[in-house]
Structure 1
């Protein structure tokens, strides 16, 4: 619920334009006629508004990113293709901080005035294999941008489970653990049986034949006999955001 009194007072004193006041009341800012960027989501639940590039024209993504930087001082863009990357490079040339992950196709842009959130929560992100890293990095970036301390541990799947045992100390002190795995998706069940913290299973669309494309991984995590939460296939952003919410509570 928006507190109208300070907004009206700022309009009355001339410190706030009518258009800006309307945006604060509505809770979003319009980008031409094709997008409405939620400017109050992070204030409501701590999860930033993130721009999914997939399915959008490069020019649309660039316009949304520019407006988000203007209003919030930061923008996170996921699932970026080559043409969209080129469009965002022009936007990035005018800001002070750029983080680009070619592997996970995610970009973070910040202005000099933006102050990143800082919380005490720690999130550890594990993968079953190297092929799971792109989705896992999306989760890690999201949790990091929500202010958490994030550690990643890659390629510790059940095909050589001694690798995970050797790294157990790296998730022993976490407040929440994200485990990304494709194929049969067994690793989250194992980790959930050993970790003190809540575990989020992140099925990845790696695997072929019957149960391929992440379907077996998803069903295996949903049928886990150990206690864990499970997000949708390749839903790295959702897993990272949920982990950060858990870790900082």
Structure 2
């Protein structure tokens, strides 16, 4: 059932408003090349947009899926790209239609459609330079959700003074949520959570070697944190960015509503 027929049934009184809403929420997927059913309605349903995971896909599949998503929503986020896939995107869309993350591992491709800003603010912190690709995936995800993003990279606990030098700047930016990406022993999220009064999301990264290699030590360390934080899976930049974006957008909506009430009260007294 398409949206027009659904609305006609509601207009004719054949279905009620609650049933109409439930059916609208189930609409919005587009089959692509017999390899995908992209969820074009996801952002309206959940607040988090559909994204394309590049791993396991051919460059040609990524192009077709991206074109379909752009046709439906104007923008598409693509994560975990390799060099061949990134080159294919560049050749097809051109640099003016792609917003790249550092090292071209994450990309937002668009037709000129701008991101609708929500007023939410998300800070992204990385412990080391080896963690930046995963941190960038989180940052670009939050940005695509309409959040302003603040990035602070390479401030791990091996040189804690680097983080302390950034604390004042972070306090002035007043993020609504913070994502902290760290590999090795994964200590940085615990430290950050002990310094700030906003939700912190630990993002373990599969850097490091030895007995706790591939992000396992970082994951266990974050789960065992003595300060309060949430933790996502290893290298799950999209999940961390989405969670932070959802928090920030919820806070921003509440802030806007509060400001509206204050303005109405002031106008009522004047």
Q: Given the two structures, how large is their TM-score scaled by the length of structure 2?
A: 0.81
Structure 1 residue ranges (4+ consecutive) displaced by more than 6 angstroms after TM superposition: 7-10
Total equivalences in the alignment: 235
Q: SS state of the match for residue 139, structure 2?
A: helix
CA distance in 1, matches of 2:138, 2:127: 14
Shift of 1:89: 2.4
Which residue pairs with 2:56 in the alignment? 55
Q: Does structure 2 conserve the Cα–Cα contact (< 8 Å) formed by 1:177 and 1:200?
A: yes
- Larger CA Rg, structure 1 vs 2: 2
Q: Does structure 2 conserve the Cα–Cα contact (< 8 Å) formed by 1:104 and 1:137?
A: no
Provide the alpha-carbon RMSD of the alignment: 2.3
Which residue pairs with 1:31 in the alignment? 32
The alpha-carbon distance between structure 1 residues 82 and 228, as it changes in their structure 2 partners (threshold 3 A), is same
Q: Does structure 1 conserve the Cα–Cα contact (< 8 Å) formed by 2:102 and 2:136?
A: no
Shift of 1:9: 9.0
Structure 2 unaligned segments of length 5 or more: list them. Answer: 12-23, 251-270
Which residue pairs with 2:161 in the alignment? 162
The alpha-carbon distance between structure 1 residues 215 and 7, as it changes in their structure 2 partners (threshold 3 A), is farther
The alpha-carbon distance between structure 1 residues 24 and 87, as it changes in their structure 2 partners (threshold 3 A), is farther
Q: Does structure 2 conserve the Cα–Cα contact (< 8 Å) formed by 1:28 and 1:40?
A: yes
Which residue pairs with 1:191 in the alignment? 192
Which residue pairs with 1:83 in the alignment? 84
Structure 1 unaligned segments of length 5 or more: list them. Answer: 11-22
Q: Does structure 1 conserve the Cα–Cα contact (< 8 Å) formed by 2:27 and 2:41?
A: no
Q: Given the two structures, how large is their TM-score scaled by the length of structure 1?
A: 0.88
Q: Does structure 1 conserve the Cα–Cα contact (< 8 Å) formed by 2:179 and 2:203?
A: yes
CA distance in 2, matches of 1:77, 1:125: 19
Larger fraction in helix: 2
CA distance in 1, matches of 2:62, 2:27: 22
